[in-house]
């Protein structure tokens, strides 16, 4: 019975568009950037994210080149310092504040 209820709950949530697994988060991505990348990048997070447009970030992620793009922006950063889930959070942060997206507080949109 417990399995049936669990399965039913998953079906209901998935039909409502509510994710059933953990999803990446923009705030976590910003925290990860500040904690693990900012010293290597020597850029505030807002300028890091604005190195690409939202479409470019999305294309880089789809083509599995997101990590390479981060390495170009932050050449001294060791890519193995982040777990897969942290990379997803960082991508969400980069996408959200990429050119064409939201402008972080105190950041010139140009």
pLDDT digits (tens, 9 = 90+) for 32-59: 999 999 999 999 998 999 999 999 999 9
Q: Report the b/e string of 101-110 with b at 16+ CB within 10 A.
A: beebeeeeee
- The number of folded domains in the chain is 1
Q: What is the mean pLDDT of residues 9-26?
A: 51
Residue 107 in domain: no
Q: Using the predicted structure, report yes or no on whether residue 102 has a pLDDT greater than 90.
A: no
In this prediction, residue 82 has a pLDDT band, given cuts at 50, 70 and 90, of very high
Q: Which pLDDT score is estimated for 104?
A: 63
Share above pLDDT 70 across residues of the chain, in percent, rounded to a whole number:
72
Q: Using the predicted structure, report yes or no on whether residue 109 has a pLDDT greater than 50.
A: no
**Domain residue limits at 47:** 24-96
Q: Which pLDDT score is estimated for 18?
A: 42
Q: Which stretches within the chain are classed as H helix?
A: 2-15, 26-32, 38-41, 45-49, 54-62, 66-73, 84-96
Residue 62 in domain: yes
Q: Which pLDDT score is estimated for 107?
A: 47
Residue 12 in domain: no
Average pLDDT, the chain: 81
């Amino acid at each position: 019975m417990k399995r049936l209820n669990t399965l039913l709950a998953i079906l209901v949530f998935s039909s409502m568009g509510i994710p059933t697994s953990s999803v990446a988060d923009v705030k976590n991505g910003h925290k990860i950037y500040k904690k693990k990348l900012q010293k290597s990048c020597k850029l505030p997070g807002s300028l890091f994210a604005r190195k690409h447009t939202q479409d470019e970030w999305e294309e880089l992620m789809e083509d599995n080149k997101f990590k390479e793009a981060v390495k170009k922006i932050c050449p001294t950063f060791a890519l193995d310092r982040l777990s897969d889930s942290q990379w997803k959070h960082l991508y969400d942060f980069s996408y959200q504040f990429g050119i064409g997206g939201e402008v972080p507080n105190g950041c010139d949109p140009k």
